Amino acid sequence: MVCASDGRMASADGFRLYSYENSKLDFGLGKTEALVLGSTVQKAVRLFAKKDKVEVGFKRSSTNLPQEVYFKSGDTVLIGQLVQGTYPKYQQLIPQTFLCKASFSVPLMLERLALINPANMWNGLRMKFTRTVKQEDVCLLIGKSDYVEYELSLPVKIDGDEGKVAVQYNYIEDAVKYFSLCHIELTSPQSPMKFTGDIEGLTVVVMPFYVQW
């Protein structure tokens, strides 16, 4: 499900949150929110994938509440019913401070991840942000399976302390793929990870999981 409000759109499941802020997202909703089914958004993405510009708007009911959403490009219009209810206070889940912040090249990260076979991994991906004896900042990408252990080094720029976290392999891929340059912010191995980068307004939050280090 996608929550739309003036200036922001957000979507979340139990483990990930995507939030995008942009002044162009002025739907005329005022102080209300509109809840759009994820399936409706997916259909709109498939239908208008090759369009340069898509108009998004909301139709109000007789009680002045948002009732329908429409996506329009040229002569093509997709209309969907909205979900009634209240969306959770997702903004409270976005970390506002960090102890470790690491900046890195996404193409390099995806190149390293491609060398690891996620199908054989049984405890996700461990990430250690550390400084070497040569004072070089690196992220160690560690994956284990029944037969092999991977440990790949990714050059990063660390702001603050060293840090470590364990997370699902595909969650990392999904979080970073929108950026060319990405920043990961950590507060502890058990706290939500915050991803930002060179797409202004886009924030991704991912929940890690506990492992024995």
Query: Residue 123: its pLDDT value, please?
Result: 62
Burial of 50 per CB tally in 10 Å (0-12, 13-18, 19+): exposed
Query: Residue 121: its pLDDT value, please?
Result: 58
Query: Residue 22: its pLDDT value, please?
Result: 93
103: DSSP letter: E
116: DSSP letter: S
Ordered strands of the 8-12 beta sheet: 55-60, 66-73, 76-83, 34-36, 2-5, 8-12, 16-21, 202-206, 193-197, 181-186, 100-105, 157-160
Q: In the chain, what are the domains?
A: 2-92 (3.10.150.10), 95-206 (3.10.150.10)
What is the distance between the alpha carbons of residues 3 and 125, in angstroms, rounded to a whole number?
30
What is the distance between the alpha carbons of residues 80 and 67, in angstroms, rounded to a whole number?
9
90: DSSP letter: G
- Per DSSP, the residues of 153-211 read EEE-EEEES-EEEEE-HHHHHHHHTT-SEEEEEES-TTSPEEEEESSTTEEEEE-----
Q: Using an 8 Å Cβ cutoff, are 19 and 8 in contact?
A: yes
What is the distance between the alpha carbons of residues 78 and 55, in angstroms, rounded to a whole number?
10
Q: Using an 8 Å Cβ cutoff, are 209 and 124 in contact?
A: yes
* Residues in the chain where the model's pLDDT stays below 70: 117-123, 145-146
